[in-house]
Amino acid sequence: MRRPKFDSRLTAYTKRKRLLKFAEGTSLELASTKFAEWILVDKKRTEGDVLHIKMYYMDGTGIYHAYLKGVFEKDALLIGDVGVLEGEGYAPKGKPPYGKGYGSALMRTAINECYHRGITKVYGKRKFLTPEQDKRQLNYYKSYDFAIDPQGRIFLELGPRFHLISRDNGRTYEEV
């Protein structure tokens, strides 16, 4: 595997440093996306039955935010909105942030919160403005095994959670 160029390592270091300074004295914690992009995620995610995950990321010049909103019901989470591309302060001008793992980080955090609360179902309704956004959303929700009906409703049944306990000869998993 090739090492990243010095420029990209320096940029990642600078982004991390600026995000940590931004997070000082707050409930934000440093994390990274599946593409090794540094992000901040708010540890205060719930207030009663309301889920509001806030995430901050940067492009080297400015700090932007994204969110996922939902409501917990008896044994389900109703996802209201995943906002990564919306409005002023959500995306760098001329550089849409899709394809960098920000939405995936939000969804993983929401699913982890469901497991923490014993929630077994996640559902909601997709909304999109353009055919390009529709295609990206379909791939996004399908990557988490959501069932999607023609009206745009999404549904996910959460199974038991497993984690890797051994790496010796193959993989051994244990239910959490």
HSE value, Cβ hemisphere, 13 Å, CA-based, for 73: 10
Euclidean distance between CA atoms 85 and 66, whole angstroms: 8
Kindly report the CA angle at 55 between 96 and 113, in degrees rounded to 5? 125
| CATH number given to 6-175 | 3.40.630.30
Q: What is the H or E stretch that residue 11 is in?
A: helix 6-23
Per-residue pLDDT of the chain (176 residues; tens, 9 = 90+): 455 544 577 778 888 899 999 999 888 999 888 888 889 998 888 788 898 999 988 876 788 888 889 999 988 999 987 777 655 555 556 566 677 888 888 888 999 889 888 889 999 988 877 888 888 888 888 888 899 998 889 999 988 776 545 555 555 556 65
pTM score, whole prediction: 0.79
